[in-house]
Structures are given as structure tokens and as C-alpha cells.
């Protein structure tokens, strides 16, 4: 068995942890100066004008964001692959919808920034 069959209370721990997991994607969007449509993000403060985009951020910051995103997605995939029952908890938090929204907003921006940097080199 696995830890979830040994400790059924871990399902409620997972349930409580998922908003934090979802926040990772919001944090990445924020660092890129982006926002998902229908995001429950608070309005930006006036002094907090975002001028940083994936296209103009320092290269190391772009690399860090891409690696962080890859690491997060690989970890989630591995977790759900070895423990498919957790998918129900992810679905309860609209994970698929939120991941798709994140993808639509962030990935084209990140891809364009990477291609632009690659052409500049």
C-alpha cells in the first residue's frame, strides 16, 4: 500500500494543500506580469505597475521560472501517476480548468520569450 491507504486523513491534508499548489501557477503568472482570466486575484495596486514580461525580464529570471514550472509539473505528474486516486481531489479544486487557463495565458508568452532569446544569441 501507500501512505494514503495507511493514513486516510492524508486525503484531507491533500485537500487542504491543493490551494497552495494552485497558488504556484498564480505566482508564476504574477512574476511574468500576467493574469488568468476570471482569476480571483486582487486588483493590482497602482504603485505596483507590472512592466516585467517574459520577453524583457533578465535571462536568469526567465530560466528560473521555466525550470520551476517544469519541476512543478513533473512532480505533479509523477504524484498523480503513482497515485491516481488523488485525481478526484485535484478535480474538486477545478485543477484541469485552472491548469488549462494557466497554459493559455503563460505558455505562449514564455515560448515567445525563449524563441526571442534564442534568436538573439
pLDDT computed for residue 30 by the predictor: 93
Residues composing the chain: 121
Domain count within the chain: 1
pLDDT, residue 35, reads 83
Question: Which range marks the domain in which residue 16 is found?
Answer: 12-33+51-120
Is residue 39 a part of any domain in this protein? no
Residues 92-111, mean pLDDT to the nearest whole number = 96
Predicted confidence (pLDDT) at residue 50 exceeds the cutoff of 70: no
55-101, pLDDT tens digit by residue?
999 999 999 999 999 999 999 999 999 999 999 999 999 999 999 99
| Average confidence score pLDDT of the chain | 88
Q: Is residue 79 part of a domain?
A: yes
Select from 112, 87, 120 the least CA-distant residue to 18. Answer: 87
In this structure, is residue 17 part of a structural domain?
yes
Position 7 scores a pLDDT of 81
Amino acid at each position: 500500500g501507500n501512505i494514503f491507504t495507511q493514513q486516510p486523513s492524508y486525503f484531507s491534508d491533500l485537500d487542504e494543500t491543493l490551494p497552495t499548489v494552485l497558488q504556484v501557477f498564480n505566482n508564476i503568472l504574477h512574476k511574468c506580469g500576467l493574469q488568468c482570466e476570471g482569476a480571483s486575484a486582487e486588483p493590482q495596486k497602482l504603485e505596483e505597475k507590472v512592466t516585467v514580461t517574459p520577453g524583457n525580464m533578465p535571462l536568469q529570471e526567465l530560466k528560473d521560472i521555466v525550470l520551476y514550472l517544469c519541476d512543478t509539473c513533473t512532480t505533479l505528474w509523477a504524484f498523480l501517476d503513482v497515485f491516481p486516486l488523488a485525481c478526484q481531489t485535484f478535480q474538486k479544486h477545478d485543477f484541469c480548468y485552472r491548469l488549462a487557463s494557466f497554459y493559455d495565458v503563460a505558455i505562449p508568452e514564455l515560448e515567445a520569450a525563449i524563441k526571442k532569446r534564442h534568436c538573439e544569441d
